[in-house]
Structure formats: structure tokens, C-alpha cells
Amino acid sequence: MDYEESCRIMDVPPSASPAEIKLAYRRLAKVWHPDRFAEDPELQAMATAKLAAINQAYAYLKDAKGSAPNPGATAKRATASPPPPNRPQSPPPSPKVQVTTHRHDSSPAEMWLSYGLDCFQRGQYTAATQYLADAIACDRDYLAAYELRYEALVQLGFEYRAKQDFLKIQELRDRFQRHQRAARDRWQPVQPPPPPPSKSPDPSKLPWKFQVRWLAISEPIAGVHGLSHTRQVVVISQRGTILVLDKAAGRLIWRQTFGASKVTCTALSPNERTLAIAHPQTTSILLIDLKKGKLIRRLLSPGIEARSLLFDPSGELLVAGCDDRLIRCWEIRSGNLKYQVAGHGAVPASLALHQRDKQIWCAGAEMPLRLRRLNDGKLVRSLQGYEINTAISLSSNGQQLAVAGPAQLSILNLANRTCLNDLPLLGPIKQVSFAGTNHLIALLKTGGLQILDLTSRTVVQRINGPHTAFTLAPGGRELILVNRGGHLEIWTPDAIAP
């Protein structure tokens, strides 16, 4: 095998830098890994042979680059600075697209973690635990690997092994908190008040009361949104069916199917006129006019699936966290890609908008949390110490950020830089949202809903599931729940319940 043949196998130019070769190897190893073809022995054998050739070519290029750079690379470095290491091997973007990359050199442990995360997101929990075990073998104190393996073991029903990982997670978190003051961003923990006497909450003083339940659609529901200007609610099924319903009467206003195989995420514009849904079958994002019930346009991202969506306050931009670990931003009117940002260690699965500062908090199975500018995606700051974040939420005043993970629940006060880490562990959390400034609503992955009082740091109400999603109607005067059977439930605060 010669140099040119190795470059052809790795799909890199002869002048590629070591960082570009390393990135290409990671990309090809994920594409051709035999575990992805476990259901087809013939394809698995072909993938095994292909991966062996990729490993051989990568070893040859790594040795060649380490001993003496080739003339093409030398000439390129003499005329221009080397390209960012995380830039994908793709044609250069159009002049309208601004591409920002950040260095992310991964260790072997991080490589195994990324493999485990991919398997976990596809529901291959057994393969995920094997990759995560390799990551832990490389780094015995790799907290992110323990947390993700804990979730995989819970899904598999291995309670004893999950408990062992849970204890290890607590040990590592305690160790990290002892060193957290020396981190880049220092958050002074608030001393908790003495715990209140243990007693059952008075049902007459619970913050929410059940009002009505009715069947919306006999399909799994992917998302729900309440409208403020009308007594209406928008329901989106996982099969791409959109329903606009009258909340008071449970009456269907209009229904339309847009042919999605499985909707992964949704978002509603601030003016409540446009609905965005991720369409994995065509790897695009559909923009729907809710007033007319018609498709406005498709935002194309070939080969990419969106895992989180967010409109800007003006409704002119749409931001998406994608499964290739990039954040993309589109202009709604033209449909053009405004920018894309790399440098995330995992999929940005949860986004939260700071409306006043026009900044975005990004979270996922990575360390640390990241704050980016909305208009260009530039990194503003990173917060250390929060890994495997399954959900985040920003309070309405923009001063508190809730960070939820499989083994932690923290409230960051962004105004005075304090952190509440002593909140009761509810369990693995799927969705979280503030209800005012004193209550936090958390949807567990088991389907139960719990409401937490931030003043007393206690769970004041539990609503049994199984629920798949919830939303607070604008103004916070209604809590809308959906369950796995396609039913909607309307709850109201006790103070305004009729």
C-alpha cells in the first residue's frame, strides 16, 4: 500500500493534515463499523474487510505524516494556515454560509463514548454498553461514560449493574465538586436550609388540579404546543399528522398529514403562525403555516437529522441541533443556511434561548455546557461539570438555567453565579421546564411527572404516567400533558382552578 492508495481509501487529499486524516478516520470507522450491519452477515463481512483496509491506510498515513510531511502538505502550509481540524471533507460552503469550527481532539475514551452514544440513540443498548465499557477501560474515572452506561443498563433492565454505575457516578460527582472551585467558571454553591419535616403534601394545596382528558389521536405523539391568542392546542404525531384542536370543547379544527416516518422534534414560532417539524425520512425540516394548514417550504440538510429545534425571538431564524454534532441556522424567508457551527463532542439534543441577550444554551451528552451567540453561532462561554445533559430549560426572566441529566438536577442562577446542586434526584429526566420562578416541572423517562418547589427543594406533586410530553400554555395558566395512548390532559394551577 502506497501513499496515494492510502489517501484514496481514507478519502482525503494528499496534502491533508494529520488532524484532517484523524477526523476522516473517525468518520469512516463509524460508517463502516461491523456492528451497524449485525442483521445482515454478508454486509457485516464486507464492512469488516473495509474497516481493516481503513485501519491499515490510517496507520500508514499516520506514520508517514509523523516521519516527514509530503511536498503537497509543505507547499500548502507555506502559503496558508492549516484548516481547522474539525472541518468535514465536503465542498466549500456558498458565500452566504458562515462556517465556524472549534478544535476537538478526541482521546480513545472519547472515541468509544461517541460509538456508544450512536448505538444508544439507535436503541442498540447492548452494543452501547460494550462500547462504553471500552471507554471506561481507557479512563476509569470517565464520568460521561458511566452516566450513559447507567441509562443503557436501565433500558435493558439490569438493575444491579445500573446500581453499581449509579454509585460510581455519585462518587465521581462528589470528587468533581471538591475540585469545582478551581474550574474556569466558579459557581458558589448555596447552603441548603434545614430539611422540612417529612410528611405527605396536603392534596388541597397541590399547585395543579386535573380538569379534563380527551382522545386527540390514536398514534404516538411527538410534540404539543399551546396557542395564546386562541383556546387552541397543536398536536403533532410521530407519523407527521398535525391536529389543531379546541381545548375547551375537545373539537378538531383541522387535520393534515405531511408524510413523516417519525418526527424527532418540533418548534413553534413566537408569533404562533409557523410550526417546524423534523422530517427524518427526507432529512429535512418542514415549515407549516398553522393558519392555512399548508407547507411553506422545506429546509434541506441532506443526510442529516435534526434532534432539537428553536426559533429566534423575531421568528426569522430557525436553529437546529443535528445528529452530525453541528448546529445549523436557517433564514426562514429565503430558506438559506445562515451558518453552521462544529466543535461539539456529541449531538446538541437540547437548546434553550435567552431572549434578552439573543444567545443559545446548548446541551447534550458532552462536557461542558455551551453558550453561543444567536446571530453567528460564536462561542460565548463554556460551563464545566455538567455531562450527559438530557434536557435544559431557561426561566422566563432568563436568570435561572435548569440542567437535567440521568443522575443530577441542578439550577444555575446566571445573575449571581450560584448553583443549587442539592435538589432531590427524581430519576432519569426526559423534559424539564420552569413554571414561574418557584416551581420546576420534570418529565421522567419512566413517564411520570413531578413538580419541584425550588424554595423548599422538595417534590410537592406527582402525576402518574405514562406521559410522553408536556407543555405550558403561554402565561403558565395551563399544563397540557400527552400520554402514549394519544390522550391529552389539561391541568390548571390550584389558585385559578374553577
Q: How do residues 206-263 score in pLDDT, each as one tens digit?
A: 577 777 776 667 777 888 888 876 678 888 888 888 888 887 676 788 888 876 567 8
Q: Bridge-partner residues for 233, per DSSP?
A: 226, 245
Is beta strand 266-268 parallel, antiparallel or unpaired with respect to 251-257?
Answer: unpaired
Of the two residues 261 and 487, the one the predictor is more confident about is: 487
What is the chain's length?
Answer: 498
The DSSP symbol for 498 reads -
Instruction: Report residue 80 as a C-alpha cell.
Output: 496558508
pLDDT digits over 56-106, tens only? 888 888 888 764 344 333 333 333 334 333 333 333 333 333 333 333 344
Band of the pLDDT at 330, cuts 50, 70, 90? very high
Name the one residue in this structure whose C-alpha cell is 430539611. Answer: 195
Query: By C-alpha distance, which of 236, 232, 225 is closest to 247?
Result: 232
* pLDDT above 60: residue 6: yes
Range list for CATH 1.25.40.10 in the chain: 106-183
Instruction: Report residue 179 as a C-alpha cell.
Output: 475540585
* CA-to-CA dists, residue 65 to 16, 18, 308, angstroms: 9, 7, 39
* CA-to-CA dists, residue 458 to 256, 315, 341, 418, 440, angstroms: 42, 37, 39, 19, 10
What pLDDT does residue 144 have? 84
Of the two residues 411 and 182, the one the predictor is more confident about is: 411
CATH topology of domain 106-183: 1.25.40
Band of the pLDDT at 319, cuts 50, 70, 90? very high
How far is 404 from 388, CA to CA, in rounded Å?
9
* pLDDT above 60: residue 193: no
Range list for CATH 2.130.10.10 in the chain: 202-493
What mean pLDDT is predicted for residues 14-26? 83
What mean pLDDT is predicted for residues 344-356? 84
| 297: alpha, beta or left? (left if phi > 0; alpha if psi -120 to 50) | beta
Range list for CATH 1.10.287 in the chain: 1-88
Angle ∠(113,9,17) on CA atoms, nearest 5:
70
What mean pLDDT is predicted for residues 458-468? 84
pTM above 0.95, yes or no: no
How far is 17 from 89, CA to CA, in rounded Å?
12
Q: Tell me what percent of the residues of the chain surpass a pLDDT of 90.
A: 7
Q: Tell me what percent of the residues of the chain surpass a pLDDT of 70.
A: 78
Query: By C-alpha distance, which of 311, 314, 382, 317 is closest to 351?
Result: 311
What pLDDT does residue 388 have? 62
* pLDDT above 70: residue 199: no
What pLDDT does residue 387 have? 55
Average predicted confidence (pLDDT) for the chain: 77
Name the one residue in this structure whose C-alpha cell is 402514549. Answer: 484
CATH code of the domain made up of 1-88: 1.10.287
345: three-class secondary structure by DSSP: coil
Check if the beta carbon of residue 363 is closer than 8 Å to that of residue 346: no
CATH code of the domain made up of 202-493: 2.130.10.10
